[in-house]
A and B are shown apart, each in its own frame.
Chain A
């Protein structure tokens, strides 16, 4: 019972201090808001980038064209062997007829080409479409296909397609987003440190303002936590408020720009998806921001009070 009363008093004292100290606390909250906003933006943007890259890499595959003399038995053996390769997710066979139908469908508007195809007979070879498990390790599949036993079955006229150019482009994009993400992490760390320092100073000033009161509390036999608690409560409040503001800012940013620009994407940053991601993970992100804000506030105030309160009771 006493503990509950004491906890209640600590919290109430913290709230009163928070209100009295608002002008000083505003600086701490401003910098914490910036920090938390950067963290939240990085998270959502990173999810959007990942989404874009996944969509692109999903389209990466390998197409092997077979010569017309391949027998059904050879085909089955080759398919079976392909599927045992560790990096092969699936291998699908398309016969010459299926390929023709596909080509016709893809070029439905191009009459001359369609006429050319029908006139010369079906020159489109049968193919096996291979979907890799990891698009970054397409080399393994290439090595397998380049073996003489494999090459004997392949169409010498049509080279194997590796979506090679696309892959390089996607790699570059992925590399760029990695750099952006790393820069985001560095920015987050820098801003988190700055906000901790500012909270440090805020609490230091507050301790200085109340040094008489703190001295009297010590002489009257107050527990260290009775003295320290209100400062921690005050800083946790900074964290909570900053977290709420940061969520509000990001919400306005994505929802607002998605509406205003009428654009689904800005380059690789798919605003529509970012907005969707933010909305669908709203509560989780809010919780994360609150936890981070509370953590920054609590840790910095505990360290600050430890440094400046001189709570060692023998003193």
Chain B
């Protein structure tokens, strides 16, 4: 099969990650191709290797063997000093939000732009647009603790997408949320995907997987046990 890797958003080729030899591999020869603009859901029990997979994609870990190319960047050729540049191209959302507690919603999002050296005016111009996408207009001056869990997660999403990454990685973004708020977050992710961003979502939530009807990749003991389009939740 011929694959033009330039056209792929994510390419994993026989990626293995072993933390400790006596414990076996967290990921065992995992190969995965993700097209641009795709919405892919990764499911799997705790310890199946979901977190390891995401940490490899954000280059928090290096694979023991195998090849990773994301958005045209070959991780084998990526120098340590260029890792910050890679991370600016990947938006990441976490289960525990990771917002700065003593900064307002506006400041939290602005933070992501200050890091890349964007000027104050440009920041003022950009933030209202993303707040609109995540349906948080008017909440600029709130502190994270004054918001509900779902709102906080949408602030985190706004921060992740404000730099217009090609890929948005969402690691159990609904893990701490009740079903209504969880669905608000998922709807925002779908909206972002419609705008053209590749979304990689990991979740435990069976209901969400079933309603989304997207490509589902199942991880089991560090291996991909199934990879189906328009799929339902199955372990």
- A interface with B by C-beta (< 8 Å): 1-3, 5-6, 9, 212-213, 215-224, 226, 312-315
| B59 contact from A217, A220, A314, Cβ within 8 A | A314
Q: Is B32 an interface residue (CB 8 A)?
A: no
Q: Are A219 and B98 closer than 8 Å at their CB atoms?
A: yes
Which secondary structure dominates chain A's binding surface? helix
C-alpha spacing A218/B98, complex, angstroms: 12
Q: Which residue from chain B places its CB closest to the CB of A222 in the assembled complex?
A: B115
C-alpha spacing A239/B111, complex, angstroms: 29
Q: Are B62 and A216 closer than 8 Å at their CB atoms?
A: no
C-alpha spacing A3/B88, complex, angstroms: 17
- B24 CB to closest chain A CB (Å) equals 23
Q: A313-B81, A315-B60 are in contact. Are A2 and B87 (CB under 8 A)?
A: no
Q: Which residues in B have their C-beta under 8 angstroms from that of A212?
A: 98, 100-101
C-alpha spacing A224/B59, complex, angstroms: 15
Q: Are A221 and B80 closer than 8 Å at their CB atoms?
A: no
- B171 CB to closest chain A CB (Å) equals 11
* A-B contacts, 14 listed (Cβ < 8 Å): A1-B119, A2-B116, A2-B118, A5-B119, A220-B87, A220-B111, A220-B115, A220-B159, A221-B86, A223-B84, A313-B59, A313-B80, A313-B81, A314-B80
Q: Which residue from chain B places its CB closest to the CB of A2 in the assembled complex?
A: B117
Using A9-B114, A221-B83 as known contacts, list a sample of 12 further A-B pairs with CB atoms less than 8 Å apart, ordered by residue number in A.
A212-B98, A212-B100, A213-B100, A216-B99, A217-B111, A219-B58, A219-B92, A219-B98, A220-B112, A222-B84, A224-B84, A314-B61
Q: A216-B100, A219-B98 are in contact. Are A313 and B111 (CB under 8 A)?
A: no
C-alpha spacing A220/B110, complex, angstroms: 12
Q: Which residue from chain B places its CB closest to the CB of A213 in the assembled complex?
A: B100
Q: Which residue from chain B places its CB closest to the CB of A13 in the assembled complex?
A: B114
Most buried by A among B62, B84, B88: B84
C-alpha spacing A199/B115, complex, angstroms: 26
Q: Which residues in A have their C-beta under 8 angstroms from that of B83?
A: 221, 313-314
Q: Is B85 an interface residue (CB 8 A)?
A: yes
**4 nearest interchain CB pairs?**
A221-B87, A2-B117, A313-B83, A221-B88
